A and B are shown apart, each in its own frame.
Chain A
Amino acid sequence: MPIEFGIWLFIYGGVYMRVFVIGAGIVGSLIARELSKYDIELHIIEKAPDIGWGVTKANSAIIHGGYDDPPGSVRARFAAYGNKLYDELSKELDFGFKRVGSYVVAFKEEEVSYLKELLVRGEKNGVSNLEILSSAEIRKREPNISDKAIAALWCPTAGITEPWEVAIAAIENAQENGAVVHLGERVTNIIVRNQKVRKIITNKGEYSADIIINAAGLFADEIAKMAGVGDFEIFPRKGEYILLDKKLKGLVNSVIFPTPTKKSKGILVVPTVDGGILLGPNAVDLPKDQKNNVKTTREGLNEVYEKAKKLIPSIDLSLTVKTFAGLRPETKDKDFIIGTTKVWGFVNAAGMRSPGLTAAPAIAKYIVEKVISEDLKINLTKKANFNPYRKKIPHIEEVSLEYWEELVKKDPKFGKTICFCNNVSEGEIVEAIKRGARTLDGVKFRTRASFGRCQGGFCSLKIMEIISRELSIPLEEVKMNYENSKILNGKVRI
């Protein structure tokens, strides 16, 4: 659909400010939401058909304490502050966030001395209330941790969330405040004149742009190259995961880390927001051209299992719900790339390796308050009528039965269960479609329908019927996610 630019005339000291965020992952979405507080013309361009389908949808979903990033690194600066911002953010945007705390477990004496180092490092990074616990204390709090553990670093401020929901919530709120979202649109070129951003060209059109925020995740290096500032490279690092059934709720109550190695934070055991248990990730560096390789491997899954079992020996894979792999955007310096470039108006928010999810809210504020306002010296004005709140789609397991009863009275569709494993009603699915879900995955990430133990066996065809009905498209046109992912192949009989 062509955008009628004439209707947006936001003037800053005589300048129309058109800001484009490339990428609707967790970083781009939160930047967009932060920008939507100001009187500008704001666009978000995302090549995938939906929000948060890249790095955002497949990671450990942890809000890190912020104790293990090297003091002085860009990562350290943002992680501890980002962590603090999640309380307010989760209230305003109404997404699942639980400060469940984390343990880094040591099995050997030299690991205990590393825990002490981490504690000192954490304090330097501004992380408070870190504590080293004895094996007896660990056992009391998390009885399923291996009895070979001799000490653990306890960080009460670590948390868990659902990153895709954070991104969806942020985009919904940005839209509520006037942002325009372009899904399924791929940036093909960026026009720069006199070392200044001029235009952004996509497979669907071209737009004049004053500021471009490059939050393109794995592909941020390619976007930077288009602007002529491609002085960094993004390498995909694959991590494989095993998700276990919610029946195991309580197996661990907090995030369990091994003592980290130089390469990574190791393979963790994580409670998920809705009660499941997530194991992973391993870390496999892939060649630069494999930014779509999210295949699981036998070796990788075995490694995840073996290492998770060292932390929690009672782990039982017979309750596997699914396995998946995600990619993390790595850079040579293992650090975030944030800030202005030599092209005026082209701003990077790239290289968001761990703890990118944790840091994202802090990065969003930094981009607006420091990079745009101070470095680019743009005098942004706050919107008078900014609405900071977004409400999540209601779910029966998260409210009282009385509340749900009222909801069913207003709309009986909330009384009709579609996904039996996760108790998701037709009302929730219809609401997800109203908010932009177009595919089975779109519905899944917004409602958890088909996310459970039967993996859509009972509900996927019913959800397809609802999508088909709500969008007035034939049943066989309903897709799982991307263009070439149709579920059905025509009629048996006409």
Chain B
Amino acid sequence: MDVLVIGGGAAGLAAAIEAKNMGVKVLLLERDRSTGGVLNQCIHNGFGLHVFKKELTGPEFMEYLWEELGDLDEVIRSNYTVLKIDHINREVFTLSEEGIIVFEPKALIMATGARERSLNSLRIPGARVTGVYTAGVAQKMVNIYNRLPGKRVLIIGSGDIGLIMARRLKIEGMDVVGVVEIMPEPGGLIRNVVQCLEDFNIPLWLSHTVFEIHGNERLEGVTIGKVDENLNMIPGTEKYIKVDTLVASVGLIPQNELIENFVDVDQVNRGPVIDDFMRTSVEWIFAAGNNVAIHDLVDFVYEEGKIAGKFAALYALGEKLPEVKYEFKRGKNVGVMLPQRFTGTQPFKMYLRPRKSMSKSEVIFSGKTIRKFGWKIRPSEMIDLKITNFEQLPKEVIVEVNEIG
């Protein structure tokens, strides 16, 4: 086998499609019972606008990918877990109903996606009760298992899945009390704030969070309150809200447990450092999707998967890929950023998240303005930049986002 893809979400499927199109032998390992990842449970629309020029649901988007891939059984192995990767001997140890199988691919693509941050990890005081679920789990209950999580719900965190679930649970008859967001601005896309909350009269309380969880065995209520600019609770603002369900959309965490001990990791992205070929610091390992950094749109993840698939295939075919020549360094106001390195041999897309909202702004590469934004940019919406011109760039490019006029 030439290319092994770990993970069968949008990035992994796209990578497998592209690698297969390049004429190499490719296998995709999926740890769940079928591929598609979170697309399976995202039955709302809004997917595919960029890459298919259509407004699709998650399962529809997934079917487009399946169709592109062709014979699924030839490429996909579901219910396969990767136990470990030996990066020196280039061995991938897997567990499945077939037993322990060790693969020795020429190139490896990591498309392991993200997991939801659990509410338990936030150290909110109070009881440990049932009725507290992450938004993705609540979504799976409703959309896959046909079950409701409770009767009356508060959403904590205004990430996209939280907003989507506020609407979803309301449509299915739950009493959706509101959404609390600890930051002064929503965490998800503005289009989701409008379509999921405003259109359904669901209140959004900004600079608010849950101070305490009440109940004995099942959740009985929560205390919410306001926070100051340092995110500390403001005494006297507490309010008791009676709910039997708390749905948490408090962030996604890239999953890199299989490689983080031997590849270079970007602590801001929480994912591997990659270049414009989606290569990690280990030359035979590529990465794409939410394990590299959290994206807003599946379309971008798909595009990254295709790049990874193409270059992993070329690498597996024995082609010598160009070496990294340039490096991006974070300057002022730059949060998530990818890639962090590039070869300067091909145009590529760069993604950035500003650290704060700015009404008018410019992106600066080592002192030189390369893009101006006349509209508001915010941390919750990723900026994408087409980088085509490498002339005059220093080896180390300092990236800044500045507020202007």
Contact = CB atoms under 8 A, between A and B. Distances in A.
B116 A489 contact: no
Interface string B192-226: 00000000000000000001000011100000000
A9 interface: no
Interface stretch (B94-102, B282-290, B292-300): B94-102
Contacts of A396: 83, 95
Contacts of A314: none
B73 interface: no
Contacts of B116: 454, 457
B7 to A, nearest CB: 11
Given A292-B216, A324-B128, A484-B217, A405 B120 contact: no
A488 interface: yes
Contacts of A492: 142, 146-148, 172
A417 B95 contact: yes
A482 B95 contact: no
B125 A295 contact: yes
B125 A301 contact: yes
Contact of B137 (A301, A453, A461, A486): A461
A323 to B, nearest CB: 5
A423 interface: yes
Given A301-B123, A415-B97, A489 B118 contact: no
Interface string B146-179: 1111110000000000000000000010000000
A486 B130 contact: yes
Contacts of A294: 127-128
Interface in A171-205: none
A232 interface: no
A460 interface: yes
Given A321-B120, A457-B134, A485-B218, A475 B125 contact: no
Interface in A441-483: 453-458, 460-461, 475-476, 479-483
B124 to A, nearest CB: 8
A interface: dominant SS: mixed
A413 B147 CA distance: 26
Query: Which of A242, A417, A456, A460 counts the most B-chain CB atoms under 10 A from its CB?
Result: A417
A322 B149 contact: no
A331 B172 CA distance: 52
A182 B81 CA distance: 39
Contacts of A301: 123, 125
B306 interface: no
A331 B141 CA distance: 46
Interface string B110-146: 0000011010111101111110001011001110111
Contact of A423 (B83, B118, B121, B134): B83
A455 B148 contact: no
Interface string A390-433: 00000010000100110011001101110010010100000000
A408 B128 contact: no
Contact of A488 (B83, B127, B148): B148
B120 A493 contact: no
Query: Which of B121, B127, B141, B142 counts the most A-chain CB atoms under 10 A from its CB?
Result: B121
By size class, the interface of chain B is 35 or more
B118 A454 contact: yes
Contacts of A423: 81, 83, 95
A488 B149 contact: yes
A317 interface: yes
A404 B147 contact: no
B93 interface: yes
B177 to A, nearest CB: 16
B31 interface: yes
A461 B149 CA distance: 12
Nearest to A245: B121
Contacts of A493: 146
B123 A242 contact: yes
B269 interface: no
B130 A487 contact: yes
Contacts of B98: 408, 415
Contacts of A247: 257
Query: Which of B115, B123, B129 counts the most A-chain CB atoms under 10 A from its CB?
Result: B123
Contact of A458 (B79, B115, B147, B149): B115
A296 B147 contact: no
Contacts of A488: 141, 145, 147-149
A262 interface: no
Interface in A243-296: 247, 292, 294-296
Nearest to A292: B216
Interface string B348-373: 00000000000000000000000000
B115 A454 contact: yes
A416 B97 contact: yes
B302 to A, nearest CB: 22
Contacts of B148: 488-492
Nearest to A458: B115
A58 B179 CA distance: 32
A460 B137 contact: yes
Given A489-B151, A490-B147, A320 B123 contact: yes
A379 interface: no
A417 B81 contact: yes
B217 A482 contact: yes
Interface string A366-389: 000000000000000000000000
B257 to A, nearest CB: 8
Nearest to B81: A417
A457 B83 contact: no
A73 interface: no
A465 to B, nearest CB: 8
A489 B98 CA distance: 37
A115 B404 CA distance: 62
A297 interface: yes
A408 to B, nearest CB: 5
Contacts of B96: 415-416
B130 A405 contact: no
Query: Which of A320, A323, A425, A490 counts the most B-chain CB atoms under 10 A from its CB?
Result: A323
A489 B169 CA distance: 12
A298 interface: yes
B95 A415 contact: yes
A322 B97 CA distance: 32
Nearest to A402: B100
A476 B100 contact: no
Contacts of A292: 216
Nearest to B257: A247
A408 B98 CA distance: 7
A295 B120 CA distance: 13
B150 A489 contact: yes
Query: Nearest 3 A-B pairs (CB), nearest first?
Result: A455-B118, A322-B120, A412-B97
16 contacts: A296-B126, A320-B120, A323-B123, A401-B93, A404-B100, A415-B99, A417-B79, A423-B81, A423-B95, A461-B140, A475-B147, A481-B217, A485-B217, A488-B145, A489-B148, A489-B149
Given A455-B118, A489-B151, A490-B147, 16 more contacts: A296-B123, A297-B125, A320-B121, A404-B95, A404-B100, A405-B100, A408-B97, A408-B98, A408-B100, A417-B31, A455-B120, A461-B140, A461-B144, A481-B217, A489-B244, A492-B142
Interface of A: 242, 247, 292, 294-298, 300-301, 317, 320-324, 396, 401, 404-405, 408-409, 412-413, 415-417, 420, 423, 425, 453-458, 460-461, 475-476, 479-493
Interface of B: 31, 79, 81, 83, 93, 95-100, 115-116, 118, 120-123, 125-130, 134, 136-137, 140-142, 144-151, 172, 211, 216-218, 244, 257
